[in-house]
Amino acid sequence: MLMQDLKIINDVRLLSLNARELYEDLSKRLSDQQARNVLKRLAKHRMEIVTAIAKEESSKAQGDQLSEFVPESIRSESTVVNLDDNDLVDSIPALIVKERREIVFLRNEVKRIKNYTLRYRLSSFVATLQMDFDQLQSLAAVPKTDTKGDGNE
């Protein structure tokens, strides 16, 4: 397998691991059940990507650092998220920005993979992440109320 493919595979794996940890953490802290479900689904799909990559023969050449191809904006957002408990509701728009950048990056990187079979499999995972991203966006578009029905209807 080409060295470029190995770097891309490792980047996808590391970004997926970082995102999975973030989504699992936030899903435990949010009170909105719909948002928790979306975040859990995102975490599950990120783990599926990691599992698929681990099945590859080339997974033996995994590194612990992202390659130089990963932009700094994605690299810094993947490693550190500063959200305190009071800003959890505001975290959805921040997640949308982060997820949008990552999906665009992952889509472009997967297109660069020379191995057709691997490219096809990873692109299907990116498509799944795009669908989850659409659901995440819909959470921010629907304003949440603190109480169900206030009796003035």
The pLDDT > 70 percentage for the chain reads: 74
Q: Give the list of residues 6+ apart from residue 128 with CB closer than 8 angstroms, or none.
A: 45, 48
User: Taking 70 as the threshold, does the pLDDT of residue 13 lie above it?
Assistant: yes
Res 146 pLDDT > 50 = no
Residue of higher predicted confidence among 51 and 94: 51
Is pLDDT of 108 > 80? Answer: yes
pLDDT at 150 over 50: no
Mean pLDDT of 105-119: 87
- pLDDT of 67 > 80? The answer is no
* pLDDT mean over 49-57: 76
Please state the pTM of the whole predicted model.
0.74
Q: Which residues contact 28 (CB under 8 A, 6 or more apart)?
A: 36
Buried b (16+ CB within 10 A) or exposed e, 37-73: ebbebbbebbbebbebbeebeeeeeeeeebeeebeee
